[in-house]
Structure 1
Amino acid sequence: MTPNLLVDELIKFIEPVVANFDLESNVKGIRKSPQVIGGYLEEKKPQQRQETPDFPYVIVRYLEDDDTDESNIASVRIIAGTYSEDEQNGWRDCMNVVTRIKQALLEQPIIGERFRVQKPMKTQLPEEQPFPEWMALLTVQVVIPQTEEEGGYLKDVFG
């Protein structure tokens, strides 16, 4: 359940961070702020059948966690997808979105009163881009609550 809560809390955190962007969408004549969703985009529909344009978007995707005796660290990928037919500068929008999210997380690393974002954070702009769609990635490490052992059971088993 904690991975689900983490994704939900990150979505709530990111929505106001990207709300003031006014970006081109993949539906001609429509500009909007990125939709923020967990996991994966819905099935792609033809442009004329899209109620809400696919682009721009921010996806919050849980990748994995590493639970040790000292801590439980989750890796989460934040994917910014934008749309631009500008071959030279189209990449700038998705990088701006990712950079604004990164700055907000650095300024306020406690998310939902139970998760703490920590460094390292990794920003990527893949060389291969599906023009006119652009994508930038931010991978963050998040300390998540650990499950505590139940003492009574361990005393019974290990004496």
Structure 2
Amino acid sequence: MTPIVLLDELKKFIEEHIKDIILSVRVRGSSGELSERPAEVHKMRLPDKDAEIKLIPYILLQFLTGKDEQEEGQSAESECKIRIVVATYSEDGGEGALDVLNLLTRIRIALLKTGIIGKQFLIKKPLEYIVYPDSTAPFYMGEMLTIWEIPEVEREVEGLWL
């Protein structure tokens, strides 16, 4: 359950730190003008295939991998990788890519300044991020790969083999 708790905590953290970044929405309002709002944050997957375009702007948090290891003579370590995908919309090509970079930068700075999420999840370096150079106008995407130190699971049963 720990990665699930991390996703929940990360969602709240990101929502708090990006709530003042107002972005264009593809769907036009009743007056024919573009609507605007902060990016919505989703966990693991979007609701359906159509959501990939309908929900833009959005941030998607995806659990990628987890690892528990203990090298000889060392204490046990647990970590997981979370990908943060950012998608924006803009009729101005230069602005759309900058919107992605702005969100990634805001998240990056907040994570590095805080260093810990939910009092138990520690961010580790390297922290990698990219704005995709593809020409997918009017949609723009990027992502950040984060590595988290998570609480290790303690063995509860002891036996003769220990």
TM-score interval, smaller chain: 0.7 to 0.9
- SS at the partner of 1:15? helix
What CA distance in whole angstroms lies between the structure 2 residues aligned with 1:129 and 1:14?
Answer: 27
Aligned residues: 151
> Could you tell me which residue of structure 1 aligns to residue 68 of structure 2?
67
- What are the residue-to-residue correspondences of 1:30-49 with 2, within 5 Å? 30-45=35-50
> Could you tell me which residue of structure 2 aligns to residue 112 of structure 1?
118
Counterpart of 1:32, as a letter, is R
TM-score, normalized by length of structure 2?
A: 0.86
Match of 2:155 among 149, 153, 156: 149
CA deviations over 1:31-76 (Å, ceiling 9, x no partner): 0000111111122449xxx9xx511111111111121113111110
> Could you tell me which residue of structure 2 aligns to residue 9 of structure 1?
9
- SS at the partner of 1:90? helix
What CA distance in whole angstroms lies between the structure 1 residues aligned with 2:68 and 2:132?
Answer: 29
> Could you tell me which residue of structure 1 aligns to residue 161 of structure 2?
158
- SS at the partner of 1:127? coil
Instruction: Give the drift of 1:121.
Output: 0.3
Match of 2:134 among 125, 128, 131: 128
What CA distance in whole angstroms lies between the structure 2 residues aligned with 1:135 and 1:78?
Answer: 11
TM-score, normalized by length of structure 1?
A: 0.87
Over 3 Å counting, the alpha-carbon distance change for 1:129 and 1:78 in structure 2 is farther
Over 3 Å counting, the alpha-carbon distance change for 1:129 and 1:65 in structure 2 is farther
> Could you tell me which residue of structure 1 aligns to residue 20 of structure 2?
20
- SS at the partner of 2:3? helix
For the pair 1:57 / 2:63, whether they are aligned, the reply is: no
Instruction: Give the drift of 1:12.
Output: 0.8
- SS at the partner of 2:151? coil
Counterpart of 2:147, as a letter, is Q
What CA distance in whole angstroms lies between the structure 2 residues aligned with 1:55 and 1:41?
Answer: 11
Are 1:129 and 1:135, in contact at CA under 8 Å, matched by a contact in 2? no
Are 2:44 and 2:62, in contact at CA under 8 Å, matched by a contact in 1? yes
